[in-house]
Structure 1
């Protein structure tokens, strides 16, 4: 079966390589064009293998669409696609297109599915391979796989430790089901759907008065992007790696309790936040204790 892969980054590259290993005839690839002297991993892998590559944005234009159709694909496998692709392009392959989404649809439609699952303090998420239609993540489901969200998980840990490797396996399995004529089309229950916007700075502001578990979930759900933030001397300070302890200590929420070599502790409503890694505005990520000492932050200072 002739497949084309539409995607980008390490996930797109991994799916491309897996399909070839599984014996699929990968006839072409679409990926973001090289920028700043750097090639996208999927673009680089396809070029190295001698597989034709079309810039994804060109699929919005007649010339690019004609080149895509000329590949004569049976199936399009969409692995991490952020561009809005015309539906007509997705219908070009003889058997249509299938797409990866990192949630258990119809929950968490949209581009920040992992972020919001953690921010909403869910204990389970997963992935869906579905048949895209004209809506946003609304098409029929081909297959789903679930995984836990641990109490200290971040977007990075859930994705790289679970949803990435599970997703590569699921995309290969889904393509095989299509090839063998066994791929279902299970309608989503739209009454149970949730949709959240892209998780951006406007959603990532830390409100120190909120309950500890809610605040901790926000920080984890914004790590590594966009980075939950508070302010220090009028500038944003992003908090990344941290841990919520079960301790109860007196003081106002946001008050620094102690500064240690690799961390500083902040009193919350319902616990203590041990901050391990931060990023000052305009700077790089650094150890939290190092930043606090250099910034002159000591026990008693209060973030607001």
Structure 2
């Protein structure tokens, strides 16, 4: 590879979500030339369904960087000059598959920042899955993209210890976003100088996350209290960890916002049985141990502490959640 410096290369940045913003900001701050930003189209969001630009677009516009928002990536957009070509692509949380014909265009490759220690947790929800499965460590990986999902050879990675931590998804998301920006600033100059040989991923260690659906948040009370506690953190704020309470014959969705796990089960009841003891105003029996409810909210109502919730819904005690 011909040695390059950041002063004589053009970068085309692909990104959409808030996770990509620290990376784009870091590149701009450190003097990299951004030929343009490719992001997803504006979408309607919020209660008023207002047309809202992606966070990356807001950042790009603030820095005077040209923005391109194709509904579908097409090679002709690049060959016909609608989207500028560049020496290297940087892809961070773009949210769409980039065709191989486009990935092959930049002479210095297409690099992706992924929020896991690849090949563990390929796919769209790696942070949630790391929390959900109680991983001792997670991190970020920079890889050279190929046509398969999160499959390309690795340039660099950075680890972050999460053993025995209580991070919720949004907290870990922000930490890994900053780590990704820092790792790229360390890695990109070495890549441009030809000082990195990408290492193929070990396929025997590959695991996969999937797109989360609302139904993924439904609690199975036969699981252990520790598994369910991790679920409340992994799925916060969406899809949330929720259960069904049948109140006066009517099913009511109840969301567990914050919880702890303890080993002690009640003396009676099956998995899902709601109880209390002298030290805890609200517990639920699980397949192994009990879940200590700290914050909880009925659907359409505000989130309450356990004591306040029981005061407002005394019939919740001694029921069985589904």
Fold agreement, TM-score > 0.5: yes
Partner of residue 208, structure 1: 221
Q: Deviations over 1:47-81 (max 9, x none)?
A: 22221100153423633664465x23111111112
Counterpart Cα distance in 2 of 1:68 and 1:188 = 34
Quick check: 1:77–1:175 contact (8 Å CA) kept in 2? no
Which of 219, 234, 244 in structure 2 is aligned with 1:221? 234
Distance in 2 (CA, whole Å) between partners of 1:259 and 1:246 is: 14
Of 26, 42, 45, 1:34 maps to 42
1:255-294 pair list within 5 angstroms: 255-258=273-276, 264-281=282-299, 283=300, 286-289=303-306, 290-294=308-312
Q: Greater shift after overlay, 145-154 or 130-139?
A: 145-154
SS state at 1:182 partner: coil
Structure label with greater radius of gyration: 2
CA distance in 2 between counterparts of 1:143 and 1:92 reads: 22
- 2:19 counterpart residue number: 11
TM-superposition CA deviations, 1:69-118 (whole Å, max 9, x none): 5x231111111121112122222222111001111111111111122222
Answer whether contact 1:56 1:83 (CA < 8 A) is retained.
no
Aligned mates of 1:285, 1:145 — CA distance in 2: 39
TM-score for both structures, normalised by structure 1: 0.88
Q: Over residues 232-283 of structure 1, what are the superposed CA-to-partner deviations in whole Å (9 max), with x where a residue is unaligned?
A: 22233222222224555433232222399x97322334433222333433x2
Does the CA contact (< 8 Å) of 2:35 and 2:66 recur in 1? Answer: yes
Report the aligned-residue RMSD.
Answer: 2.5
State whether structure 2 residue 175 is matched by structure 1 residue 157.
no
Gaps of 5+ in 2: 1-8, 44-49
Q: The residue matched to 2:27 in structure 1 has which SS?
A: helix
Q: Which has the higher contact order (CA 8 A, sep 6+)?
A: 2
The correspondence of residues 51-200 of structure 1 with structure 2, limited to 5 A, is: 51-60=65-74, 62-63=76-77, 66-67=80-81, 71-151=84-164, 152-160=166-174, 162-200=175-213
Count residues in correspondence.
300
Q: For the structure 1 residues 38 and 202, does the alpha-carbon distance in structure 2 shift closer, same or farther, using more than 3 Å as the test?
A: closer
- TM-superposed CA distance for 1:186, in Å, is 0.5
Q: Do the aligned partners of 2:135 and 2:163 also contact (CA within 8 Å) in 1?
A: no
> Cα–Cα, structure 1 residues 286 and 45, in superposed 2: closer, same or farther, change >3 Å?
same
**1:215 Cα shift?**
2.4
Shift of 1:295: 4.0
